[in-house]
Copies of this chain bind each other. A is one copy, B any other.
Amino acid sequence: MSTYKEIVLVNRPKNGQIGAYLFQEQQKNIPTAGEGEILIKQTHMSLDPAMLGWMSEDRGSYIPPVELGEVMRSSGVGEVIESNHADFSVGDKVMGMTGWREYLLSDGKGFNKLPPGVNEEMALCVFALPGLTATTGLYHFGKPKAGETLIVTGAAGSVGSIVGQMAKADGLRVIGVVGSDDKADWIVNELGFDGAINYKSDNLAEQLKALTPDRIDIFFENTGGPIQQLIFNRMNTHGRIVVCGMIADYQSSNPAPGPNWIPLIKKRITIQGFAMPDHWHEIPQLLEKLTPYVKAGKIKYRAHVVEGLSNAQEGLNMLFEGKNTGKMIVKL
């Protein structure tokens, strides 16, 4: 009987630090699919900013944390290698919540086959959490109108890059905030954003002013950090702020305060936080909205692949240090 590798969570992050101390690898025997079950061999696993929350102590977040001793949570794509389930055949490529492991059994619930023409990387980069999150945030809450100006932080990230490209396709002026000149170059010259700001550069306020002559109607927030206040200061009347992520603050035990609320009244601004578990039931409609943009070639993506489950922790570290150059994927 052969074995497979899985990684369990054994500690909670101290001061938000990702490290080897959090995880333990173990070997398990590869199981056999029972009645109504499928055996999945995972081939591509997604690494996401939300994982820090999933590992941390329960602070009333939207889904309970991973218990200590449990396999670390993740989404991924795998191949069905045994099936006792009417809806799945051996060879099917399926996507769902896989966890940090090479093999898993499932009763099929929550797993969907990849649509024709969609490969594993595209599935995880566009049709999984990133694209669903971008679509929900932009259309449920951002309510974009042609001619408006949208600014998105984490603009080269998995969500931000899709938000910006969809808004651009809809006729908005789109500015992205990123953390490197390489990323700035990519979003402007490859993705077609109207401008980019490297938040590590000087004169952020001046750059922002120059790039948003009509100020800002939609602020899609993925990061937090000091540029938040500057963007907030440039919001237009009836502006919409969609709070999707605050990765710059997730690792801080004492996150920086936010803007004073007076401008919310003067400009009648909405700030809306959201998280995907509220929207799982809308996935068919979200995919219906998203897919035409992909088919029309409007959505480019970049995967940053690390090889082997044992390198997942290192990949996660890169994500939090902003060293990734695309959606983080572990190839198993």
Chain A residues with a Cβ under 8 A of chain B: 53, 59-62, 221, 224, 228, 237, 243-246, 249-250, 255-275, 278
Contact = CB atoms under 8 A, between A and B. Distances in A.
Contact of A268 (B262, B263, B273): B273
Contact of A264 (B259, B262, B273): B273
A257 B259 contact: yes
The copy count of this chain in the complex is 2
A275 B266 contact: yes
A260 B262 contact: no
Nearest to A260: B255
Given A246-B260, A265-B273, A266-B275, 14 more contacts: A62-B237, A221-B261, A243-B265, A249-B260, A255-B262, A256-B260, A257-B258, A257-B260, A258-B260, A264-B271, A265-B275, A268-B273, A268-B278, A270-B272
Contacts of A267: 60, 62, 273
Contact of A274 (B60, B249, B257, B265): B265
Residue in A62, A228, A258 with the greatest tally of chain B CB atoms within 10 Å: A258
Residue in A244, A259, A265, A278 with the greatest tally of chain B CB atoms within 10 Å: A265
A258 B255 contact: no
Contacts of A273: 261, 263-270
B259 A268 contact: no
Interchain residue pairs A-B with the least CB separation, the first 3: A264-B273, A257-B257, A271-B271
A245 B265 contact: yes
Nearest to A271: B271
Contacts of A243: 261, 264-265
Given A265-B244, A265-B246, A258 B256 contact: no
A237 B255 CA distance: 20
A10 to B, nearest CB: 24
A47 to B, nearest CB: 19
A268 B259 CA distance: 18
A259 B258 contact: yes
Nearest to A239: B273
A296 B116 CA distance: 63
Contact of A262 (B237, B246, B259, B261): B246
Contacts of A275: 265-266, 268
Nearest to A266: B61
Contacts of A59: 266
A271 B242 CA distance: 11
Contacts of A237: 60, 62
